[in-house]
């Protein structure tokens, strides 16, 4: 039974209001104007008044548009035939494939019961030494890449997607530049990763409201794959655009803003997405990696700030490199004692020395005289930056650890590094 209503009483931004009864909160409707049609979702009920956010945007909606309520919330097809497909943020085909309308799952489903979660134990190998060695990514982790505009964050995300040893990749692009979308598509295709990927792409040119749907649909699909025992990596870029879309709708609905115009429930909104990351006891896992661009490179901006309180660490991308300071994987100690016995030592020693090297660099910049140790540190910093930190470096963890030893050996004498003697004997290159 579909109920159809005609008279739209208010159009403001992307939100329309219609007089209707027997409508459920969260229900979907189809809004058809003479020139266009779009899906919309109920976001407020007030006596007989029904407010809907129109996914296609308010532009072109006629007051006599036909509004047909569909009797269900947002749903998405789920099966293995999603793999290799590309959809819009709203879940419609963006490639030339068929629309998938059967086997539907609910989007934005209930949260996982905390007692059914397990403490994660498996590492996600990315082939990027700054992650694998220094801030290991762990299955079921939720981690954002904090970056300012202009940094190659999408390149980093794409590289992790291609190399990560996971079964399924689900990518949601929010407010993505069309070039970036093509970049993701081509890169995944070239490396043969497209066949195990599903893409939900909302580009900057698409209506704002769809931007809100993209991460929810992607996470629902990712969760469904994980429930079937797959190890899933879900990539969301860029969450700041998602938050800006939230802000836009909240302001249209005349909600009282909290900080810098963002709605008061920003934390809860972000948390309900990030907390989808999970390791199911007896099924698969879902790892969530996102991009959060920091407006003005300011980490106290509400979006990165709220994100930092939710996620299990963060990667700072600065100057084209993953910053060793500030970047943190809160879960790394769960896995990095099971990789190779020199892993933790290499991780600690190289960072401590790099911190010292940075001080030496400052000293040099201020015109102080360099002593022998300072010169060694400067050599070390140069090698570390070019052979380890550079984003183009692509090594399995074991090779990256070996390279770490090689860098140390080329920069210092073996007794200068404060590494336990037993490890020196075993690993210091001859």
Partner 1 sequence: MQHSDNIGRIMGVGGNLVTVEFDLPVVQNEVAYVRLEEQGRHVGLKAEVIRVRGRYADVQVFEPTHGLCVGDKVAFTGELLSVELGPGLLGQVFDGLQNPLDAIAAEHGFFLARGSYYRPLDAQRRWDFTPCARPGERLRAGMPVGHVPEAIFRHAIMVPYGLKGWCTLVSLVEEGAYTIDEVVAVVLDEDRREHEIRLTQHWPVKIPITAYAERLRPTQPMTTKIRIIDTYNPVALGGVYCIPGPFGAGKTVLQQITSRHADVDVVVVAACGERAGEVVETIRTFPELEDPRTGRSLMERTIIICNTSSMPVASREASVYTAVTLAEHYRQMGLKVLLLADSTSRWAQALREMSGRLEEIPGEEAFPAYLESVVAAFYERGGVMRLHTGETGSVTIGGTVSPAGGNFEEPVTQATLKVVGAFLGLSRARSDARRYPAIDPLDSWSHYDGVVDPAQVAEARRLLAQGFEVKQMMQVVGDEGTSLEDYFLYLKAEFLDAVYLQQDAFDPVDGATDADRQRRVFGLVSEILAMDFTMQDKDAAKRFFLALTQTFLDFNRIPMDDEKFEDMERSIRTRCKEAARDA
Given the complex with partner 1, which of 59 and 330 has the nearer CB atom? Answer: 330
Q: Is 13 in the site for partner 1 (CB under 8 A)?
A: no
Residues 6 or more apart in contact with residue 378 via CB below 8 angstroms: 357, 360, 361, 364, 370
- What count of other Cβ atoms lies within 10 Å of the Cβ of residue 271? 18
Q: Is 283 in the site for partner 1 (CB under 8 A)?
A: yes
Segment near partner 1 (CB under 8 A), from 157-165, 167-175, 183-191, 271-279? Answer: 271-279
- Separation between Cα atoms, residue 245 and residue 159, nearest integer Å: 27
Q: What b/e sequence results for 140-149 when a residue is b if at least 16 CB atoms lie within 10 Å of its CB, and e otherwise?
A: bbbbbbbbbe
Query: Please, which of residues 161-190 interact with partner 1 by CB under 8 A?
Result: none
Work out which of 199, 243, 271, 419 binds partner 1, going by CB under 8 A. 271
Across 113-270, the runs of DSSP E, i.e. the strands, are: 123-124, 137-138, 142-147, 168-176, 197-203, 231-237
Q: Is 205 in the site for partner 1 (CB under 8 A)?
A: no
Given the complex with partner 1, which of 162 and 266 has the nearer CB atom? Answer: 266
Specify burial of residue 201 (Cβ count, 10 A radius: 0-12, 13-18, 19+).
buried
Contact map string, positions 316 to 335, toward partner 1, x by CB under 8 A: ---------xx-x-xx----
Specify burial of residue 344 (Cβ count, 10 A radius: 0-12, 13-18, 19+).
middle
* Least distance from partner 1 to the Cβ atom of residue 206, Å: 24
* Least distance from partner 1 to the Cβ atom of residue 97, Å: 30
- What count of other Cβ atoms lies within 10 Å of the Cβ of residue 106? 14
Work out which of 13, 84, 109, 295 binds partner 1, going by CB under 8 A. 109
Helix (H, G, I), strand (E, B) or coil at 182: helix
Segment near partner 1 (CB under 8 A), from 29-37, 143-151, 272-280, 407-415? Answer: 272-280
Torsion 421-423-426-430 (CA) sign: negative
Work out which of 26, 34, 229, 420 binds partner 1, going by CB under 8 A. 26
Work out which of 57, 152, 295, 308 binds partner 1, going by CB under 8 A. 308
* Least distance from partner 1 to the Cβ atom of residue 415, Å: 17
Q: Is 73 in the site for partner 1 (CB under 8 A)?
A: yes
* Least distance from partner 1 to the Cβ atom of residue 283, Å: 8
Orientation angle between helical segments 208-227 and 239-252, nearest 10 degrees: 130
Q: Is 23 in the site for partner 1 (CB under 8 A)?
A: yes
Work out which of 57, 84, 257, 320 binds partner 1, going by CB under 8 A. 257
Residue 360 dihedral angles phi and psi, to the nearest 5°: -60, -40
| Residues that contact partner 1, how many (by CB under 8 A) | 60
341's tokens: 């016995």
40's tokens: 């919309």
Contact map string, positions 37 to 66, toward partner 1, x by CB under 8 A: ------xxxxxx------------------
- What count of other Cβ atoms lies within 10 Å of the Cβ of residue 99? 9
* Least distance from partner 1 to the Cβ atom of residue 333, Å: 10
Given the complex with partner 1, which of 28 and 65 has the nearer CB atom? Answer: 28
Q: Is 373 in the site for partner 1 (CB under 8 A)?
A: no
- Separation between Cα atoms, residue 237 and residue 240, nearest integer Å: 8
- Separation between Cα atoms, residue 213 and residue 245, nearest integer Å: 10
Beta bridge partners of 15: 12, 53
Given the complex with partner 1, which of 62 and 227 has the nearer CB atom? Answer: 227
Query: Please, which of residues 111-150 interact with partner 1 by CB under 8 A?
Result: 111-120, 140
Work out which of 58, 90, 263, 324 binds partner 1, going by CB under 8 A. 263
Orientation angle between helical segments 153-163 and 178-190, nearest 10 degrees: 30
Given the complex with partner 1, which of 82 and 294 has the nearer CB atom? Answer: 294
DSSP 85-100: -EEETTS-BSSSSPP-
Q: Is 275 in the site for partner 1 (CB under 8 A)?
A: yes
Work out which of 167, 265, 385, 402 binds partner 1, going by CB under 8 A. 265
Q: Is 369 in the site for partner 1 (CB under 8 A)?
A: no
DSSP 183-216: HHHHHHHHTT-GGGEEEEEEETTS-HHHHHHHHH
Which DSSP helix (H) or strand (E) runs through 394?
A: none
* Least distance from partner 1 to the Cβ atom of residue 380, Å: 20
Instruction: Point out which residues bind partner 1 (CB under 8 A).
Output: 21-27, 43-48, 73, 109-120, 140, 227, 255-259, 263-265, 267-268, 271-272, 274-276, 278, 280, 283, 300, 302, 305-306, 308-310, 312-313, 325-326, 328, 330-331
């Amino acid at each position: 039974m579909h109920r159809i209503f005609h008279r739209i009483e208010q159009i403001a931004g992307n939100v329309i209001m219609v007089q209707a009864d027997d409508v459920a909160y969260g229900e979907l409707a189809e809004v058809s104007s003479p020139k266009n049609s779009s899906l919309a979702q109920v976001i407020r009920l007030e006596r007989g008044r029904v407010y809907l956010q129109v996914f296609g945007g308010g532009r072109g909606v006629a007051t006599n548009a036909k509004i047909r309520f569909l009797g269900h919330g947002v749903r998405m097809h789920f099966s293995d035939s999603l793999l290799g497909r590309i959809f819009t943020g709203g879940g419609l085909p963006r490639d030339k494939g068929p629309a998938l309308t059967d086997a539907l799952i609910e989007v934005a489903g209930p949260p996982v019961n905390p007692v059914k979660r397990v403490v994660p134990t498996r590492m996600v190998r990315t082939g990027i030494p700054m992650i694998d060695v220094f801030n290991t990514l762990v299955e079921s982790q939720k981690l954002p890449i904090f970056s300012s505009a202009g940094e190659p964050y999408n390149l980093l995300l794409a590289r992790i997607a291609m190399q990560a040893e996971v079964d399924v990749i689900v990518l949601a692009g929010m407010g993505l530049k069309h070039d970036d979308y093509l970049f993701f598509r081509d890169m995944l295709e070239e490396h043969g990763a497209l066949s195990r990927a599903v893409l939900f792409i909302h580009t900057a040119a698409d209506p704002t409201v769809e931007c809100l749907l993209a991460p929810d649909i992607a996470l629902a699909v990712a969760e469904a794959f994980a429930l079937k025992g797959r190890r899933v990596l879900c990539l969301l870029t860029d969450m700041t655009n998602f938050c800006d879309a939230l802000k836009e709708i909240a302001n249209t609905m005349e909600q009282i803003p909290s900080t810098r115009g963002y709605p008061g429930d920003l934390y809860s909104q972000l948390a309900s997405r990030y907390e989808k990351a999970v390791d199911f006891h007896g099924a698969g896992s879902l790892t969530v990696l996102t991009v959060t661009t920091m407006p003005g490179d300011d980490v106290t901006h509400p979006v990165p700030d709220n994100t930092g309180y939710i996620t299990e660490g963060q990667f700072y991308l600065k100057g084209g490199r993953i910053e060793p300071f500030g970047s943190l994987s809160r879960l790394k100690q769960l896995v990095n004692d099971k990789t190779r016995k020199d892993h933790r030592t290499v991780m600690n020693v190289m960072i401590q020395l790099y911190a010292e090297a940075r001080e030496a660099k400052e000293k040099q910049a201020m015109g102080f005289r360099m002593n022998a140790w300072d010169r060694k540190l400067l050599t070390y910093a140069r090698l570390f930056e070019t052979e380890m930190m550079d984003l183009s470096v692509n090594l399995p963890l074991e090779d990256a650890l070996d390279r770490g030893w090689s860098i140390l050996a080329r920069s210092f004498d073996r007794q200068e590094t404060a590494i336990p003697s037993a490890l020196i004997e075993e690993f210091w290159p001859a």
